[in-house]
Amino acid sequence: MTTETAPAETRLFIGGAFVDADGGTTLDTINPATGEVLAQVAHASPDDVAAAVAAARSAQPAWAELPISDRARILRRTAELIESNAGRLAALESADAGKPITDCRAQIGGTAEWFDFFADVSAHLRSHVVPTFPNHLNYTLRQPIGVVATITPWNYPMPLYGIKLPAALAVGNAVVLKPAEQTPLTALALADLMREAGLPDGVLNVVPGLGETTGAALVEADIDMISFTGSTEVGRKIASRAGERLVKVTLELGGKSPSIVFADSDLDRAADGALFTFCVHQGQLCSAGTRLLVEESVREDFVGRLVERAEALRIGDPMAADTQLGAVMSDEQMVRIERYVASGIEQGANPLTGASRAEVAGLEGGLFYRPTIFEGVDTRMTIAQEEIFGPVLSVLPFTDDAQAVELANDVLYGLAAGIWTNDLRRAHRFAAAVDAGLVYVNTMNLLAPWSPYSGWKQSGLGVEGGIEQASSFTKLKTVWVNLGEDVPRL
Ligand code: NAI
Ligand code: MG
C-alpha cells in the first residue's frame, strides 16, 4: 500500500464526528487488482444506523432554515476541496474499486461539477401562483422531504455521491449515506472534506456496512425518502418495503442497453463507441451497451473492427497511467461473469474473442477479464437478456429499421440506447420509438449534472440529474389564502 492509497478515515461518520462501530466490528475492503486487504472499515450496526438517522433528524431543520446562499457556499466549497484533493481521492478510488487511475481522476472532476451545479439549485425551484377562484390566492411551496437515506453500489462510488448528495442537501434535506461494502473509502474521505467545507454536524452521516444488515436497517429507520442505486433485485426489495411504509423511493437499477449500428454510420467511430460502452470500467456500469445490434450488410466488417479494437486494449495495473481496463470488482463478480460466458457457450453462442481471464504480470492475485464478443446470439439467450456486469457483448444482426427497434426493446430493462447513423430522420424516429430513458445518437454514456435522466421498465423509478432531481427531493405544499369575505359554510 502506498501512502496515497492509505485511507485517512475508516470509521463511521455520525453527527459530525468519526466514531468506531458499536462493538468495534469491522469489514475488510479489498484491492481487486492485488487481492490484498486495503483497510478494515467500521461496520455500522443497526444501533449505529439509528444514531446516524437521529443525528440527521435533529440537524435537518436548522440546515433547511439557512439562507440558500449559505448552503450553496458549503456545497461549492466542497466542489473546490474535491478538486484540490483529486489526486488523493482518485488513488483511493482506484485502489478500492480496481478501476484505471485516469478514469478515476476524470470522474472525481465530474463529481465536483455535480456539487457545483446543485449548490444553489433551490433558488431555481420556482413556486407557482395557481389561478383558482376570485378573491383567492393559491400558491405552491417546495419544502425539503427531511431525512434522505442514500444507498449506493461499488461501480462508481464518487460519481454516485455526486449524483445523490448535493441535490438532496441543496434543497435542505439531511442525508444518511450507506456506501457499498466493497468501496467505502472515498465516502468517508468525502465526509471529511464536507466537514472541512463547513457542513454542520449531522447534515451528512456515513454508515458503511453490508446490505442485508446495515442497508436493511437504514431502510427500516426513521427516514423520509430512499434514493437507491444498485441491482434490480435489491431495488425491488427496497421499493416494496418503502411501499409498505409509504416512504418515497427513487431507484436507478440495472440495464441491458442496445448499441445499434446502421450501415450508413461512420463505422470506425461507431466501433470506438461500441467498444467503449461495453468495456469501460470492465463493463460494470448500468448503462453499458452490451447488446450490439448491427445491420447485416456490414456485420462482418463491423464486428471485425470491434474484435481488433478489443484485442488491442491494454489490461493492466489500474494505477498505471496508460491502463485502459483494470480489475473486476470481486471474486463474486468474476464468478458471475464466468458463469454467464459459460451459459452463452452452452446455449450455442460463439465467442470471437476473450472468454477468459487475463494475466497481468506482477499482479497475479488480481481479477482481470478479457473483453468478450459473442456472435451467433439469439435474443432469447441468457447472455442477451440479463445484466452481466462484465465486458461481455452479444452481437445481434438486423435487416431493417423495424427489426432494429423490435430487438432494441426486447429486454426487461430500459436504461439507455445508442444509435449510430448519419440519417437524421432515422435517428429521431428511433429516439422516439425506443423504450429507454436515455438515448444517444452517435455517442454513448454521457451525463451532465444539469441533464435529467430516468430508467424505464426494470431500470428504475424517478429521475436523477437536473432541476427535476432537486425537485424530487422536496415535498409539494399548496397554500390557499382567502382575500375576501366569503368562507365555506354549511
Ligand atoms: P446490490 O444491489 O446488492 O448492492 C447495491 C447497494 O445496496 C450496496 O450498498 C448494498 O450493500 C446495498 N444492499 C444490498 N442488499 C440490501 C438490502 N437488502 N437492503 C438495503 N440495502 C442493500 O448489488 P451488488 O450485489 O453489489 O451487485 C450485484 C449485481 O447487481 C451486479 O452484478 C450488477 O448486475 C447489479 N448492479 C447494478 C448496478 C447499477 O448501477 N445499476 C450497480 C451495482 C450492481
Ligand atoms: Mg448484493
Atom 42 (ligand 1) nearest CA: 230
Query: In this structure, are residues 57 and 174 in contact, taking their beta carbons and an 8 Å threshold?
Result: yes
Interval 444-464: pLDDT, tens: 999 999 999 999 999 999 999
Q: How far does the centroid of ligand 1 lie from the alpha carbon of residue 153, in Å?
A: 5
Interval 390-424: pLDDT, tens: 999 999 999 999 999 999 999 999 999 999 999 99
- pLDDT value of position 151: 98
Interval 115-146: pLDDT, tens: 999 999 999 999 999 999 999 999 999 999 99
At 117, the amino acid letter reads F
81 Cβ contact list (under 8 Å, min separation 6): 193, 196, 197
- pLDDT value of position 6: 79
Atom 18 (ligand 1) nearest CA: 212
Q: Which ligand is nearest to the CA of 389?
A: 1
Q: How far does the centroid of ligand 2 lie from the alpha carbon of residue 209, in Å?
A: 12
220 is catalytic: no
Mean of per-residue pLDDT scores for the chain: 97
Tell me the average pLDDT across 243-271.
98
Closest listed residue to residue 398, CA positions, set 258, 279, 274: 258
The C-alpha cell at 266 is: 461512420
Q: How far does the centroid of ligand 2 lie from the alpha carbon of residue 232, in Å?
A: 10
pLDDT at 2 exceeding the cut of 60: no
- pLDDT value of position 3: 56
- Percent residues over pLDDT 70 in the chain: 99
> What residues line ligand 1, using a CB cutoff of 6 Å?
151-155, 178, 180-181, 210-212, 215-216, 219, 229-231, 234, 237-238, 253-254, 286, 333, 336, 387, 389
Q: Which ligand is nearest to the CA of 235?
A: 1
**DSSP structure string for 360-405:** -TT-TTS--B--EEEES--TTSHHHHS---SSEEEEEEESSHHHHH
Atom 20 (ligand 1) nearest CA: 215
Q: How far does the centroid of ligand 1 lie from the alpha carbon of residue 382, in Å?
A: 20
Atom 15 (ligand 1) nearest CA: 211
The residue from 9, 181, 279, 286 that is catalytic is: 286
Cα–Cα distance list, 479 to 124, 127, 128, 144, 482 (Å): 20, 11, 10, 16, 10
- Percent residues over pLDDT 90 in the chain: 98
Measured at the CA of 323, the angle between CA 319 and CA 324, to 5 degrees, comes to: 130
Q: How confident is the model at residue 48 (pLDDT cuts 50, 70, 90)?
A: very high
Tell me if residue 486 falls in helix, strand or coil. coil
346 is catalytic: no
- pLDDT value of position 322: 96
- pLDDT value of position 4: 66
Query: In this structure, are residues 434 and 409 in contact, taking their beta carbons and an 8 Å threshold?
Result: yes
Interval 363-391: pLDDT, tens: 999 999 999 999 999 999 999 999 999 99
- pLDDT value of position 7: 82
pLDDT at 1 exceeding the cut of 50: no
Query: In this structure, are residues 34 and 365 in contact, taking their beta carbons and an 8 Å threshold?
Result: yes
